[in-house]
Structure 1
Amino acid sequence: MPFQPLPQDQPICTVECPACGHRWLVYEQQLGLLGSCPACGAARPRSMGGVAPDSGRQVSFGSFRDLLDEPRLLTLIEETLGLRPLDGARFVDAQGREVPLEDIHFTLQGNAEWQAQVYNFYMNHVR
C-alpha cells in the first residue's frame, strides 16, 4: 500500500537525488522508502535534513510558490539569502547562477526566524 499522509502532516524533509542533484520535500514518514526522483527517475534519494523543528509554522512548497508575488517575501529572499529574482519563480546568486526554488524554500524553512516570517506572509496572503 502506498504512503498516505494524515491531514495534519506536512512535508518537512528535503531529499536530494544522487544522480542529478534535484531536491524536493517529502514527509518524514517517507524517508528510507524506495522512491524515484521526479526530475530524472533515479531511485533512492538521500535525506538532506528537515525544516525548523516543532515550530508549527511550516509552509508547504506549493504554498510558498503561491507567495512569489508577495514583495515582502522577495525582499526577505534578497536580504537573507543574497539572491535576486529573475522572473516568476527563478532566482540567481551573486555569480548569476540560478538557484532552485526548492533550495530557497528549504533554506527559509530551516531557520526558525525566517520560517516565521514566511508563515506570517502566507497567513496574511490567505486572509
Structure 2
Amino acid sequence: MPFQPLPDDQPSCTVECPACGHRGLVYEQQLGLLGPCPVCGAARPRYMGSVAPGSGRQVSFGRFRDLLDEPRLLSLIEEALGLCPLDAECFADAQGREVPLEDIHYALQGNAGWQGQVYNLHMNRAR
C-alpha cells in the first residue's frame, strides 16, 4: 500500500540525490520508502536532515505553490535567493538557468527566518 500522509502532516525531512544533487522535502514516514530520484531516476535520495527543526512553521509545497501570486513572496525569493521570476511557477538564477520550484521551497524552508516569512504569508491568507 502506498504511503498516505495524515491531513495535518507536512513534509519535514530533506533528501538529496547522490547522482544529480536534486533536493526535496519528504514526510518523515517516507524515509525508508523512498524510490528513485524524480529528476534523474538514479539511486535513492539520501536523508539530509530536518528542515528548520523545531520552528513549527513549515508550509507544505502545495500551500507554498498557492502563494506564488503573492508579491511579498516573489520579493522574498528575489532578495533572499537572487532568483528572477520567468512566469507563474518558473524562476531563473543570475545565469538564466531555470531553478525548480521544489528547490526554491526547500531553500526557503531550510532557513528559519525565511520559513517564518513564508509561514506568515500563508497564515495571513488562511485567516
Shorter-chain TM-score range: 0.7 to 0.9
1:54 aligns with 2:54: yes
Give yes or no for contact 2:68–2:89 (8 Å, CA) kept in 1.
yes
Residues 1:110 and 1:3: Cα distance change in structure 2 (over 3 Å):
same
Would the aligned equivalents of 1:14 and 1:48 in 2 still touch at CA under 8 Å?
yes
Q: Provide structure 2 residue ranges, at least 5 long, that are not aligned to the other structure.
A: none
TM superposition score normalised by structure 2: 0.85
* CA distance in structure 2 between the aligned counterparts of 1:5 and 1:91, rounded to whole angstroms: 29
Q: Distance in 2 between matches of 1:107 and 1:63?
A: 15
Q: Percent identity?
A: 81
The number of equivalent residue pairs is: 127
RMSD after superposition:
1.9
In structure 1, runs of 5+ residues without a counterpart are none
Runs of 4+ in 1 over 6 A off after TM superposition: none
Q: Secondary structure at the match of 1:104?
A: helix
- TM-score w.r.t. length of structure 1: 0.85
Separation in structure 2 between the aligned mates of residue 9 and residue 42 of structure 1, nearest angstrom: 27
Task: Report the residue type matching 1:103 in the other structure.
Answer: D
CA distance in 1: counterparts of 2:88 and 2:47, whole angstroms? 28
